[in-house]
Structure 1
Amino acid sequence: MSKPIVAIVGRPNVGKSTLFNALAGEKISIVKDYPGVTRDRIYADVTWLDKQFTMIDTGGIEPESKDLMLSHMRQQAEIAIETADVIMFLVDVRQGLVDSDFKVADMLRKSGKPVVLVVNKVDNFDKLMPDVYEFYNLGIGDPIPISANSKLGIGDMLDEVIKHFNPEDLLEEEDERPRIAIVGKPNVGKSSIINKLIGENRVIVSDIAGTTRDAIDTVVNHNDKEYVFIDTAGLRRKSKIKEELERFSIIRTVTAVERADVVVMVIDASEGVTEQDAKIAGIAHERGKGIIIAVNKWDAIEKNDKTIYEYTNKVREILSFMTYAEIIFISALTGQRLPKLFDVIEMVIQNQTLRIQTGVLNEIMMEATAMQQPPSDKGKRLKLFYITQVAIKPPTFVIFVNDKALMHFSYTRYIENKIRDAFGFKGTSLRFLIRERKEKE
């Protein structure tokens, strides 16, 4: 299900990170302990009432000078306007209204995107309300007073945010066509792959612009089946700052991955897997999407009979957290193995939606626990009572145990491997939820 995207925009020191952390709680969605995955939190999942959304922090580097500051703010606003369904514009009651707030407000107003104006650092509602009202002058609606620090007013703010979720955005759900996001660093050949796929299939169904998003979706027809390709190539930023550009491309990737069923991660054969590739892969892995790693420009590599084998091992080693990903070697230039991409996509989709009967799962689990005894701690041994599949996309399983603390990550991984041995599940991550149950139940 594609969740709405909410972006936070605002000058430095108005409290964006404090608000971000207050909303995200500690459940921060950054893949932990994998080398090459940065700790800077760009996005997090938030649930309010029964609504879920992905929150993006557009911030980043703080420019030194006033002029730079404005252009930096403009860039943030552009990113938000381009990728978000709802924009939270954060201002600071203590600093009051500043010139750049007006300029950003203008951009946001012209964009036509829903904007929620949030006035932060209002620690005392009675005393500071007159200062809050000053922000009506921005002309983008009612200012909502909050204190991110003491978590005041946050509920009212979220109520306002979710009012703007468009029921139409959620209609994408009814669209049964598989959605494929082509992601990767700039210049690895994402656009040429899409162009080649369209070219070979000659059926260009007009580009449908995403409902509220500006990413252009392309419909490709293959064997009488339609696929929607979500392209993240699009805009080239005129950014002087490398980190800024990288942050921007990661925000775009999060948005595309969020909407996709299967993510095709394109890497450049001559470069191998880079740190940014690992970050992008981490996002898709974490979002539980189907994953295919397409090694492009394979025609340009000198090969012998071991090349593919060696290359595959190298990729697996760096992306060790997703050994299930399918790897395919292609060339967008020559079209080599591109038709095979559809077969792999189909296989991954089937695995993403595979449901396993509870009886079969429990047999596998019993066999697994007989072969390798569950861990124990201080004389207490872990017992696994029951396993059942509760969801697809990605396949999600609940395991009932006697003591959650004893269910180590490594033992969950062991059970996962046994399930994969039986059913493959190639190309899709699996999720395991561990629930505790008393012996008597």
Structure 2
Amino acid sequence: MRRDSRLAGLAPRQLPPCLDRLRRAVRRGPPSAQLEGIPSGCARHPAGAPKALGVSGHGPRAGPAAHRDATRVTDITPELPLLGTVAIVGFPNVGKSTLINRLTGSRAAVVHETSGVTRDRKELVGEWNGRRFLLIDTGGVDIADQSPMTKSIAAQAKQAVGEADLVLFVVDARAGVTPGDEEVADILRRARKPVLLIANKIDDPAQESLALDLHRLGLGEPRPISALHGHGSGDLLDVIVDQLPGTGRVETPDDAIRVAILGRPNVGKSSLLNAILGDERVIVSDLPGTTRDAIDTVFERGDRTFVFVDTAGIRRKRRHRQGIEYYSELRAREAAERADVALVLVDTSEGLVDHDLTIADIARKAQDSTIVVLSKWDATTLGIEDIRPELERRLRQRPPHIAVSAKTGRGVERLLDAIEKLYDKHTARVPTAELNRFLAELRERRQPPSREGRSLNLLYGAQVSARPPRFRFSVNDPTLVTRDYGYWVENQLRDRFELEGVPVTIDFVPR
């Protein structure tokens, strides 16, 4: 059965609800700021309204983050602007994610044979001959599926089209034109935006005649490509960079605070990110695992820039896991590897469970500074005092913990303050003189371990690196350092220099 055969009997104006919403959205067009030539990503926002960089032309919806002190959120002037924004739209399983991977040279979009694998909007930078542009990949809109999840994906697709400078409409050339393709083409024509019609899955140049049938969509010359094998991708990139306006979005600053959001599926990661941004750019659903990809979102607060990575939920290991879950979990671990700070979300309605400790250990092994976020705080009768002893007993880094309600916005500002403070500790250096005074105090505070009449002697120390901090302590004999004494020194170091939640490495070396 063709994917939209149920549309065959629809009257021309009898659009399914999700396509009708898309039609009405693109008919309204982007805000006037973009029409005045303001670069995508730099559109004027209402006075006093915070914004997430990259939600171009759209002010944040009313929500918890909208009540934030507006003086702490400012615009960024792009130093290295991109050419513009390209939105990729199409039905499920026509090869959109494969195409975006081809155009960006990455594997950032989950690719799988299952229909509808791409659920969240993903933004990636493509580069061609030294010219860069932003690609937005949205979830495939199956207009025959009226589930709440499909409606949410359709809403994100319409926002992406509204923001784009250029739209790539991807069609499976081997399947031919369907009634659904014709409806989408009609909507895109009325949007009056530049559209490139992509005839995908033409894996052999001898099959290019299959693209001829797509002329009847009325969107210009179909461009035959094979996203899987790369056939035609170079010509497509030439056209993309030529048609973009030449101004666009900002690049992530080098000193941005990279934050990975980690947790079990359905623990509230996407809701937390949306509460921070004030914009529902990550799909939120009661279904576990609705976020399958790691999505970078740039956000500015005062003079600090954050890059939030909302990762796929980390599930328990199973003997046989589906391919999608495996690659999404792998991407979550990779996100932790490139983050400075990890937010480990704990569902307070369930309390601290062993799997939460496993996730915290992922952050520790990635050398992330860690904050435990007690999520869904509005849905429990527990107090912080009920959870604190367990956290301090079971988490070696003794991370700070903050109660947050994404629904009401309670605790979001405290969380952002804590992230900034923890990052400063993550990147700080302890002066050598102060560190050696600390070592002298340790010698007086506790008798060092000894063996066969020979006692350990802490001689001197220095910090050898930061982000995160690493220390080298010279001793008379490293073999005298016991596990218990090493942990004690680490804890004393945390207490003295306020390094709770920061991964600390101490190397005991011979002088």
Contact 1:250 1:280 in 2 (8 A): no
Match of 1:183 among 253, 259, 262: 262
Distance 1:234 1:328, change over 3 A: closer
Among 493, 498, 504, the residue aligned to 1:419: 493
Which of the two has greater helix per residue? 1
Work out whether 1:382 is the aligned partner of 2:456: yes
Residues 234 and 329 of structure 1: CA distance in aligned 2, closer, same or farther (over 3 Å): closer
Q: Structure 1 residue 318 and structure 2 residue 394: aligned?
A: yes
Question: 1:359-398 counterparts in 2 under 5 A?
Answer: 359-398=433-472
Match of 1:227 in 2: 306
Paired position in structure 2 for 1:358: 432
Match of 1:291 among 366, 370, 382: 370
Greater than 6 Å deviation, 4+ residue runs = 243-246
CA distance in 2, matches of 1:259, 1:187: 23
Equivalent of residue 400 in structure 1, options 430, 449, 474: 474
Partner of 2:415 in structure 1? 341
Asked whether the 8 Å contact 1:351–1:427 carries over to 2, the reply is no
Contact 2:341 2:368 in 1 (8 A): yes
CA contact (8 A) 1:182 1:264 kept: yes
Q: Which amino acid counterpart does residue 312 of structure 1 have in structure 2?
A: R
Structure-2 residue corresponding to 1:127:
none
Alignment partners' CA distance in 2, 1:398 and 1:276: 33
Equivalent of residue 358 in structure 2, options 252, 258, 279: 279
Q: Secondary structure at the match of 1:271?
A: coil
Determine whether 1:431 maps to 2:505.
yes
Deviation at 1:291, TM superposition (A): 0.5
CA–CA separation in structure 2 for the residues paired with 1:358 and 1:173: 33
| Equivalent pair of 2:313/2:329 in contact (CA under 8 Å) | no
Alignment of 1:209-228 (within 5 A): 215-228=294-307
**1:146 is matched with which residue?**
none
How many residues are matched? Answer: 261
- Post-superposition Cα deviations, 1:224-273, rounded to whole Å, max 9, x if no partner, equal 4321101103899xx99469777555423210111111001111111122
Aligned AA for 1:178?
I
Query: 1:302 — aligned with what?
Result: 381
Deviation at 1:374, TM superposition (A): 1.1
Corresponding letter in the other structure for 1:396: R
Question: Aligned in 2, Cα 1:215/1:434: closer, same or farther, shift over 3 Å?
Answer: same
Give me the whole-angstrom Cα distance separating, in 1, the residues matched to 2:472 and 2:401: 29
1: distance between equivalents of 2:401 and 2:332? Answer: 20
Structure 1's 262 and 383: CA in aligned 2 closer, same or farther, altered over 3 A? Answer: same
Deviation string 1:366-401 (CA, Å, 9 cap, x unpaired) is 111122121011222212211111111111100111
Conserved in 2, the CA contact under 8 Å of 1:180 and 1:229? yes
Output one character per residue of 1:149-197: Cα deviation in whole Å (capped at 9) or x when no partner.
Answer: xxxxxxxxxxxxxxxxxxxxxxx99711111111111100101111111
Q: Distance in 1 between matches of 2:327 and 2:263?
A: 13
- Give the SS at the match of 1:322: coil
- The amino acid of 2:359's aligned partner reads I
CA distance in 2, matches of 1:314, 1:244: 35
With the length of structure 1 as denominator, give the TM-score of the two structures.
Answer: 0.53
Gaps of 5+ in 2: 1-105, 110-226, 231-250, 282-292
Query: What's 1:269 paired with?
Result: 348
User: Structure 1 residues 373, 387: CA separation in 2 closer, same or farther (over 3 Å shift)?
Assistant: same
Identity over the aligned pairs, expressed in percent?
38
CA offsets, 1:103-143, max 9 Å, x none? xxxxxx9488xxxxxxxxxxxxxxxxxxxxxxxxxxxxxxx
Confirm or deny: 8 A CA contact 2:470 2:505 kept in the other structure.
Answer: yes
Deviation at residue 351 of structure 1 after TM alignment:
0.9
Are 1:272 and 1:315, in contact at CA under 8 Å, matched by a contact in 2?
no
Between 1:423-432 and 1:239-248, the stretch displaced more is 239-248
Q: State which structure, 1 or 2, has the greater radius of gyration over its C-alpha atoms.
A: 2
Matches of 1:253 and 1:390, distance apart in 2: 29
Residue deviations 1:35-65 (CA, integer Å, cap 9, x gap): xxxxxxxxxxxxxxxxxxxxxxxxxxxxxxx
SS in 1 for 2:388: helix
Letter in 1 for 2:309: I
Query: 1:361, 1:419 within 8 Å by CA — same for their partners in 2?
Result: no
RMSD: 3.5
Query: The residue matched to 2:447 in structure 1 has which SS?
Result: coil
Provide the secondary structure at the position in 1 that maps to 2:308.
Answer: strand
Name the SS for the 2:346 alignment partner: strand
Q: Indicate conservation of the 8 Å contact 2:263/2:313, yes or no.
A: no
Matched residue, 2:59: none
Contact kept in structure 2, 1:351 and 1:426, CA below 8 Å = no
SS of match in other structure, 2:471: strand
- Compute the displacement of 1:418 (Å): 2.4
8 Å CA contact 1:290, 1:428 repeated in 2: yes
User: Which residue identity does 1:401 align to in structure 2?
Assistant: V
In 2: Cα distance, 1:230 partner to 1:349 partner:
16
Matched letter for residue 345 of structure 2:
V
Distance 1:231-1:266 versus aligned 2 partners, 3 A rule: same
The residue number in structure 1 matching 2:180 is: none
Q: Tell me the SS of whatever aligns to 2:261.
A: strand
1:408 CA displacement? 1.4
